[in-house]
Chains A and B, each alone.
Chain A
Amino acid sequence: MSTAQFLPLRFNWKTGLLAPGLLLVTSTAVFAHNIEKHFKVEPRSVVTIHNPSGKVVVKAWTKSEVMVIATHTSDKVEVDAEQTGNRVDVMTHQISNSISPEDLRADYQINVPEDAELQIHDDSGEVSVANVLGDMNVETVGAGVDLEDAAGYLTVRTVGGSFQCIRCAGRLEVSSISGSFKLLSLRSYHVHAQTSKGNILLDGEFLPNGIYRLKNYSGVIEVHFSPGDSFDLSATSLKGKVNSQASLIPPAHAHPVSKFGNAILGTFNAGHAKVELSSFDGTINILKRE
């Protein structure tokens, strides 16, 4: 089912001509290894990507095919892609025991059908996914994650990498220690975003019956709303400030959380969605959209 096309190696002579002494040192560095593979898949295929370091760019296309283009400069790693049933596994193998971070790097460009399910693991580098509507699980250490027009069940975990999600729908769960999040033009019905040190910005639609939970330890949580939005708000910062521009109807009964720290609770318009914001000692701002 797969077609492997191996592109020829390219050797950059210009660098080699600098000085004879430099030839040996530089020649390995400028080898670029490329592979390109195509896999025919059925609907709802699963694509897994394991890449310790480098860029992973995934885009949807209309073909029932997964295309993998991988590039790396070092010969201490090997990139590979193989298919088992309706699942395509893409991975970077470390061949040598002693390897520098630069040598470990491999970059991928992958095209998938829009209903593909993705599982991506990339420690450092960048991960970007566009127009894929299947479920997604992304884990990184320092790599930033960028999703655009994604849908489905999206789970993202980073340690320090930032996260940006534009026009995403479905269900979103993102967690980090020090990464910051930007959730823009969101159309999700369930958002759970938690970071310790990072900031969180949420600017999107509050869907009826939607749940939006944002949590951090320190930093800023900022939520934008429009006059036509409708949500039930609970915003608490144990040691920090909570500021709201929303005119809220206060709750009928005292909320146990409001005993501790600074809290703003109430209903905006009919309270169709649920917005829960919580910080240990950070600042929470609920601001009217310009």
Chain B
Amino acid sequence: MAQAGNAAAFERLYRLHNRRVYSLCLRMVGNTAEAEDLTQEAFLQLFRKIATFRGESAFSTWLHRLAVNVVLMRLRKKSATESSLDEMTEPDEESGGPRRDFGMADLRLSGSIDRVNLQRAVDHLPPGYKAVFVLHDVQGYEHNEIAEIMDCSIGNSKSQLHKARMRLRELLHESLRDRAREDRKAAGNAGGED
């Protein structure tokens, strides 16, 4: 029906999938204005290309692949230099690649992780890591589905996910240390005032 241009069918398809696509875009770009823009763009591309869908994958997988591509293209345009997808998933040390700093194994992420801090940390992930983390841990896709969406191998998906989680752990620790430092500073200032 949607392929025949029926508006009600388009709207129904949109309503069925918009929440997941919007959630994916929001997690990837971190702000609502851009997420709205990207959601619209993803569905626009979907409806332009719907006649070419041949059913070789699940429809939702196909849609999410379009959405991920739209987001990654936008993120690529935003970065200062043109990067390949490989560069976006294998960042160097300076741009925040995961370092195996074993010393940090001694610091524990105590209690549950604050949602706001986690989202902030996710925002700092390189696009490729972010995509795999959002698709797997946030949206619940399996690795074989992510491999189809991201056009990579299952092994690649798993490896990116592990690296994403390790990088998030480092970022969350940095945030904890920053907060502890501010608390100490505030306590010191308060003592001084007395």
**Which A positions have Cβ atoms within 8 angstroms of B?**
44, 46, 87, 117, 134-135, 137, 153, 155
Contact = CB atoms under 8 A, between A and B. Distances in A.
Interface string B124-143: 00000000000000000001
Interface string B144-171: 1000000001110001000000000000
Contact of B143 (A46, A87, A134, A153): A153
A44 B152 CA distance: 13
A92 to B, nearest CB: 20
A117 B143 CA distance: 13
B84 to A, nearest CB: 12
A153 B154 CA distance: 9
A116 to B, nearest CB: 9
B22 to A, nearest CB: 29
B157 to A, nearest CB: 10
Interface string B61-79: 0000000000000000000
A155 B144 contact: yes
Contacts of B155: 44, 46, 117, 134-135
Contacts of A117: 153-155
20 contacts: A44-B153, A44-B155, A44-B159, A46-B153, A46-B155, A87-B153, A117-B153, A117-B154, A117-B155, A134-B155, A135-B143, A135-B144, A135-B153, A135-B154, A135-B155, A137-B144, A153-B143, A153-B144, A153-B154, A155-B144
Nearest to B154: A135
A162 B154 CA distance: 25
A137 B154 CA distance: 10
